[in-house]
Amino acid sequence: GTMKRFRRHGHESQRDKHKQDLYQFNKTVEHGFPHQPSALGFSPSLELLAIGTRSGAIKLYGTPGVEFMGLHDENAAVTQVHFLPNQVGMVTLLDDNSLHMWTLRAHNGMSELLEIGRFTLSGPPGAPPSVTRVTAVLAHSSGELLMLGTEGGHVFVVEVPGFKELEENNISVENVQNRSDIIPEDYVGRRNLECVEALHENPLNPRQVLIGYSRGLMVLWDLDRQRPIQHFLCTQQLESVWWMEDGVNILSSHSDGSYCQWTVTGEDPQTEPEKQETPYGAFPCKAISKIIQLPSKQGPPFLIFSGGMPRASYGDRHCISVIHSKFHEALDFTSRIIDYFVIREPSALVVLVEEELVVVDLQSEGWPVIQTPYLVPLHCSAITCSHHVSSIPLKLWERVQAAGAQQTTHYSRKPWPIIGGQNLSPDPPQRDLLLTGHEDGTVRFWDASGVCLYPMYKLSTAGVFLTDADPNDNMNQGSEGEWPPFRKVGCFDPYSDDPRLGIQKIHLCKYSGYLTVAGTAGQVSFDLNDEGAEQMVEATVVDLLQGQEGFRWKGQARLDVREEPVLFPPGFQPFALVQCQPPAVITAIALHSEWKLVAFGTSHGFGFYDYHQKNNIMVKCTLSPSDQVAMEGPLSRVKSIKKSLRQSFRRIRRSRVSMRKHHTTNAAKLPEINARLEAEALHEMELAPVQRKIEARSSDDSFTGLVRTLYFADTFVSDSSHSTPSLWAGTNGGAVFAYVLRVPSLERRAEDPVVAHAAKEIQLMHRAPVVGLVVLDGKGTPLPEPLEVAHDLARSPEMHGSHHLLVVSEEQFKLFTLPKVSSKSKLKLTAVDGSRVRRVGVAWFGSRTDEQLESSLVVLTNQGELHVISLPSIKMMVRYPCIRKDDVSGIASCVFTKYGQGFYLMSPSEFERFSLSTRWVVEPRCLVEAPLQMRPKNPSSPVHRDQPDGVPTEHRFTHAKDLSPNLQTQSVIDETMPHYYLKFS
């Protein structure tokens, strides 16, 4: 027996090695727009953009392909992000008042984002928390200090990167008051200065810092002499401060919608501003929360500010105003403004709002928007389904690209302005498309080949139907001479004209260019046309009830089709429409472009349509008399998981938006609120038939007739010597129906009818829903896709030796021999932990070294686990945890690719991409290096530095040593020079 045991052991280790060669699980990149962003940062020297979120994620972006992601251990919102000037480090502030230091460290020639320190201010014993609650952060240009302003009005100085408090340098409220003879009586008294709203460094002298208190007082402080130099007294509450790069002028913006300009003289008193303006004044206005003024090469400066709108009439608009010479626009955004900055020269305005990132080109006429290569809001309209197609032929790719190019004419032609870091990722080996269906009836085509999920083309199906939307209703144009001069920017628009337009299923044949799209009330086939065309769309109504008596449909009405010809732009154009009666949600779809057939299923039955001859071929009603619920159409319950989730997300958002700027009183309750809302959403979803609790399954259960999967195959159905075209359908009640099809030869295809007759019916004993059907050829390989062999992209299926039908139910994998349909082998998914199959796909795997590929099944369970199952032996190869099991919408949204990758919605606006393959992995590989150290050419010229908001600079410094806190060592401060220019000795 010893020999045997050894041999088996050797065999095992070989199999393990084989597994290691083929399979490896990685979450690789997050596509889309971060859910609930809460902070924005920018490093002009590194040219990197940072976004922090309410769940504690931090994301960095540079040149397309340069992306980093970090997560704070604390589940707290990121409230501020500050890059350390001219270094590869940044500091984040969370709403639990903790500060975190991050760096980009090179490892094996690539950079990784690491947290290298954390710190929380400690106040004197017994002091109230407001004393140390941080409200303003200044990352000093020396690169060695952080100044932290607090709610209690104090400024603490901390050494970085080590987070050591320099107590002797702290600036307390008492310090400021005791050293100031100029502060009027009514300002004195500790409570009165209130919190530190702003900390700014003099762009020309790093030893001078401006402290702005929310009550309105601003103090110019000398860091070396530790005393105030000048006071500025505002009568209104202070919102923000901007120090212009001449070092002489300061702008302050206020809660009443006004801003003031002040002159820095270095001496008191100056109690009146140089000028005071309320841009949208006359009636009470909302606060101007942030203001920037930048010189421009051509003439007058750019003035940019957020807010300031007339309270009564436009108080709910999210606006940033841009004023330059005679041009003035109030950019009207789709959601709440979180923060913004301006890049160089000024060339571009980058605005982060709650639902998208908008980049405005300030150098081109009309200030058009620049298309972003990443952070694209996938959820412009809520995503309702998705479909992935691998290895698109170049011809189709170019046609889709050309159609898309005609749609994006309104975008700026300027290149993407954020270009930091090096993208080291190899060029993607193939062209992949991800198609997403949306609630508003659009299908968006994304280039999913690489790290950046890039929009290529958008198809709208609404034009086929009569909906409440008026096609001439162009919201975008403000009327001439309107005041304020609004312009809508951004594409987030969660409101759908008609919920019945929502897209449920998509199938694209990459060889023929045929696309079929199933909506909530019918399904349309599209053909690609490079020219615009005006055409009628013919509708075929298919009665799935087949005259069943005594049922009343109480669900939605059918969408009405337009009766006049419609002009469709170049791209995919509709040529056939099938509407099921009753108009229930389409639950399954299959397209066979070689036979020119499309099959569709609902909760009542299935049928298929010949789109070459434009007629319906057959219908099968799958209802049992007990399916009363399905009949009456409570598909309002199924409406979509996404909807209930989205409502919950909106409620969460509302509860969060109502919080004050600095005081997060309900912060402690948030996790609790979230948990409650998530539980509600889950409860609502448990009602949806497809997501119902598994235990309650019996033959008289409702929705047993719901069609879960449809599959065309050329295989042996009636006898073992002749293969025939066939259609297979699997239902929620564990039934599989097979039909044999007679498809006329090519020359007779237009005249002779396609004929179908019922051939087989299988009823699984355990009646579990059938979620997948695959036919394996004589070699145990899944049949190729339609037209794949004709295009020489797959070998012909093996027609000698017997074929097998693999039926994947929620509970097991069962292999039947064809044509007899006798059970051959099965693999049960563990009944112990209640695992159920939620998603299944066929994928090809290969090692990095070997050309040979083998096919396997990829499976996702309701536990959020991924399994790879070998074919044809149906053995479990590997399993990996992937999605949290309570993330029902994440699990429901998952799609697999043909090469062992996958996508699922980790939030309403982001796809997490993962790979199960060692061979095909798409992930950011990039390098960010410290900026080069540069010295000013002319020793007597003033030192400029990059302000955090991207003021243009002549000279850049890199290392902390350039402007260390103790400047005397390196440079002489010439007391006679105005405004403390620095001279290098």
Q: Which residue has the tokens 């080996």?
A: 429
According to the model, what pLDDT value does residue 78 have? 98
Mean pLDDT of 168-175: 88
According to the model, what pLDDT value does residue 409 have? 82
Look at residue 54 and tell me whether its pLDDT is greater than 90: yes
Mean pLDDT of the chain: 84
CA distance 385 to 892: 9
Tell me, rounded to whole angstroms, the distance of Cα 267 from its chain centroid: 51
Mean pLDDT of 8-34: 85
According to the model, what pLDDT value does residue 594 have? 94
Per-residue exposure over 672-694, b if at least 16 CB sit within 10 Å of its own CB, e if not: eebeebbeebbebbeebbbbbee
CA distance 15 to 18: 5
According to the model, what pLDDT value does residue 537 have? 87
Percent of the chain with pLDDT over 90: 63
Look at residue 154 and tell me whether its pLDDT is greater than 90: yes
Confidence bin at 9 (pLDDT 50/70/90): low
Over the stretch 216-245, which tens digit does the pLDDT of each residue have?
999 999 999 999 999 998 889 999 999 998
Look at residue 258 and tell me whether its pLDDT is greater than 90: yes
Non-local (6+) Cβ contacts of 939 within 8 A are 983, 984
How many CA atoms lie within 13 Å of 530's alpha carbon, on the beta-carbon side? 7
Dihedral of alpha carbons 439, 440, 443, 448, sign: negative
- Residue 247 in contact with residue 203, Cβ under 8 Å? yes
Which H/E stretch holds residue 736?
strand 735-742
Mean pLDDT of 535-552: 83
- Please give the C-alpha separations between residue 894 and each of 438, 501, 907, in angstroms, as whole numbers: 15, 22, 12
CA distance 571 to 690: 34
According to the model, what pLDDT value does residue 455 have? 95
Considering all CA atoms of the chain, what is the largest pairwise distance in Å, rounded to the nearest integer? 105
- Residue 836 in contact with residue 859, Cβ under 8 Å? no
According to the model, what pLDDT value does residue 977 have? 32
According to the model, what pLDDT value does residue 234 have? 87
Helices (H), 641-728: 641-657, 670-686
Non-local (6+) Cβ contacts of 223 within 8 A are 169, 207, 208, 209, 965
* Beta sheet of 67-71, edge-to-edge order: 37-43, 48-53, 57-61, 67-71
**Residue 885, Cβ density class (10 Å: 0-12 exposed, 13-18 middle, ≥19 buried):** middle
Over the stretch 100-137, which tens digit does the pLDDT of each residue have?
999 999 999 999 999 999 999 988 888 889 999 999 99
Percent of the chain with pLDDT over 70: 82
With H, G, I as helix, E, B as strand and everything else as coil, classify residue 308.
coil
Q: Enter the pTM of the model.
A: 0.85
CA distance 909 to 653: 14
CA distance 155 to 172: 6
CA distance 110 to 982: 37
Look at residue 967 and tell me whether its pLDDT is greater than 60: no
Mean pLDDT of 787-816: 92
Look at residue 753 and tell me whether its pLDDT is greater than 60: yes
According to the model, what pLDDT value does residue 117 have? 94
- Please give the C-alpha separations between residue 377 and each of 355, 373, 387, 490, 492, in angstroms, as whole numbers: 7, 11, 18, 9, 7
Look at residue 651 and tell me whether its pLDDT is greater than 70: no
The two tokens of residue 255 are 């809660």
The two tokens of residue 928 are 């960010």
More confident residue, 694 or 15: 15
Look at residue 694 and tell me whether its pLDDT is greater than 50: no
More confident residue, 668 or 741: 741
- Residue 198 in contact with residue 948, Cβ under 8 Å? no
According to the model, what pLDDT value does residue 243 have? 96
Domain boundaries along the sequence of the chain:
25-32+835-920, 395-623
- For every residue of 215-278, DSSP letters joined together read TSEEEEEETTTTEEEEEEE-SS-EEEEEE-TTSSEEEEEETTS-EEEEE--SSS---S-SEEE-
Tell me, rounded to whole angstroms, the distance of Cα 257 from its chain centroid: 34
CA distance 868 to 870: 7
Torsions phi, psi for 123 (to 5 deg): -90, 175
Mean pLDDT of 694-698: 36
CA distance 748 to 757: 20
Look at residue 30 and tell me whether its pLDDT is greater than 80: yes
CA distance 426 to 432: 15
Over the stretch 316-355, which tens digit does the pLDDT of each residue have?
999 999 999 999 999 999 999 999 999 988 899 999 999 9
Confidence bin at 794 (pLDDT 50/70/90): confident
Confidence bin at 519 (pLDDT 50/70/90): confident
Which H/E stretch holds residue 876?
strand 876-881
CA distance 213 to 197: 5
Over the stretch 760-789, which tens digit does the pLDDT of each residue have?
999 999 899 999 999 999 999 999 999 999
Helices (H), 94-232: 173-178
According to the model, what pLDDT value does residue 664 have? 40
CA distance 907 to 36: 9
According to the model, what pLDDT value does residue 793 have? 85
**Residue 207, Cβ density class (10 Å: 0-12 exposed, 13-18 middle, ≥19 buried):** buried
Tell me, rounded to whole angstroms, the distance of Cα 560 from its chain centroid: 33
**Closest alpha carbon to 102 in 156, 57, 150:** 57
According to the model, what pLDDT value does residue 609 have? 94
Q: Which of 37-46, 513-522, 654-663 has the least mean pLDDT?
A: 654-663
- Residue 219 in contact with residue 176, Cβ under 8 Å? yes
> Checking DSSP bridges between strand 302-307 and strand 318-324, what pairing results, if any?
antiparallel
Non-local (6+) Cβ contacts of 495 within 8 A are none
More confident residue, 140 or 74: 140
Architecture of the domain whose range is 25-32+835-920: Roll (2.30)
Confidence bin at 655 (pLDDT 50/70/90): very low
Which H/E stretch holds residue 14?
helix 2-22
Confidence bin at 15 (pLDDT 50/70/90): confident
- Residue 526 in contact with residue 547, Cβ under 8 Å? no
Number of Cβ within 10 Å of residue 982's Cβ equals: 22
